[in-house]
Amino acid sequence: MKKNIMLLTLLIILFISVVAIISSKMIKELDKPKNNINEVENNNESSKIKESNNIEIVPTMDDQVSTNSAWCGTFQLVWNDMKNEVVKQNVVFTPQLKMVENLNKENFTSDMLSEESYYKKYGLKSLELKEEIERGIKEKFNETSDIINDIDWSEEALNNPSNPFEDRYFFYVMLRKNFEFEKEFNKLEAGEFNNGNYTNVRYFGLDKKSPKEQRKQVEVLYYNSLNDFALKLKTKDDEVIFYKNPTEDTFNNMFSNILRKSKTYKGNKFFEKDDELKVPNIDFNRKKEYTELQEKKFLTLNGEGIIKKAIQTIEFKLDEKGGSIKSEAAIDMIEITSAMPTPEQARKFNLDGTFAMFLKEANSEFPYFAARIEDITKVQEDAEKIN
């Protein structure tokens, strides 16, 4: 009997110890800082896009560029829609930003692209609009968005019942293109870049043994020296233009210089069999949030606007087979319209006193008839003059 009691006691003590250990572990887990969980979630989210942070995105071709920079017209397109459909005038900050001045110029518009290469949508911000955009890019490009979930779609961000004059808008664009060379170029040996500052750089191109079919894909725009030339690679639908050693401070000035030099170049524009071509493979993915545009007030035609979020991505690849580009842009905007004005008193355009009149042809600057009427009886026999 005593043995049974001792055995039961030991089992109870063992059970209590196990429960205590498990409880201790659970408490430790609960006491862990919550930001650890957020860090994991953020890491998972950020791993979806491997960003090339050394590439600076500029919103227009008129913005100044530095060493490594890129531009795509998608952000200009969402800006155009915001400016023309809601703001209905130039966007002006105080103080004004140079990039905003450049965006207001609208130097890039959707008619400069083929319709099959882009998807564009805007409207009052709603979950229905978000779902429509997600369906649209899936159906057109079989793509998902890398930025749409960066926007706040909470109930608070969709409606403000305390201000009936506040409208919330969302503007979105995706550009998606693949371009292929008719004849694949050659993979070349890895080499140096920028006078040996970089090594083991992957290249593609042509050498003296390359066949005519490959060389026909290259058009020389001009060639002045090893360090001063521009050329064009032709794909099935698009052209890839390269310009060696640009010194201009904007993409617009660079492109203008290419056109100018190409127009005046008198040399051979054919890529001959002794010519060589060496192009580095390109692969980058960059996301840019235009924080300098956010949370600043500006006037709209009907009131006041605020950009809550302005974001763009550019993903670009180029190799011996061809290349691809995917770019998204979005603007999340609030417009606060002025209170409805009090109706003015009805106006009465009654010509019941002295008046003048003129007649003129529409295409003439001068009238061919004029009259001044003071005594109406002179023009109306039935009218009576009261003495």
**Integer Cα distance of 209 and 384 in angstroms:** 105
The pLDDT, as a whole number, for residue 386 is: 73
pLDDT digits (tens, 9 = 90+) for 147-199: 999 999 999 999 877 777 889 999 999 999 999 999 999 999 999 998 888 99
The pLDDT, as a whole number, for residue 195 is: 87
Residue segments in the chain with a per-residue pLDDT below the cut of 50: 25-49
Q: In this structure, what token pair is assigned to residue 334?
A: 């609030």
* Chain centroid, CA 336 distance in Å: 24
**Integer Cα distance of 13 and 199 in angstroms:** 68
pLDDT digits (tens, 9 = 90+) for 186-231: 999 999 998 888 999 999 999 888 999 999 999 999 999 988 999 9
**Sequence-distant (≥ 6) Cβ neighbours of residue 368 within 8 angstroms:** 359, 360, 361
Q: Determine how β-strand 355-359 pairs with β-strand 369-373.
A: antiparallel
Supply the DSSP symbol for 150.
G
Instruction: Note whether 57 and 312 are within 8 A (CB).
Output: yes
**Integer Cα distance of 372 and 195 in angstroms:** 86
The pLDDT, as a whole number, for residue 350 is: 81
The pLDDT, as a whole number, for residue 127 is: 97
Q: Which of these, 242, 236, 318, 239, lies nearest to 277 by C-alpha position?
A: 242
The pLDDT, as a whole number, for residue 301 is: 92
SS3 at position 337: strand
Cis amide leading into 211 (omega within 30): no
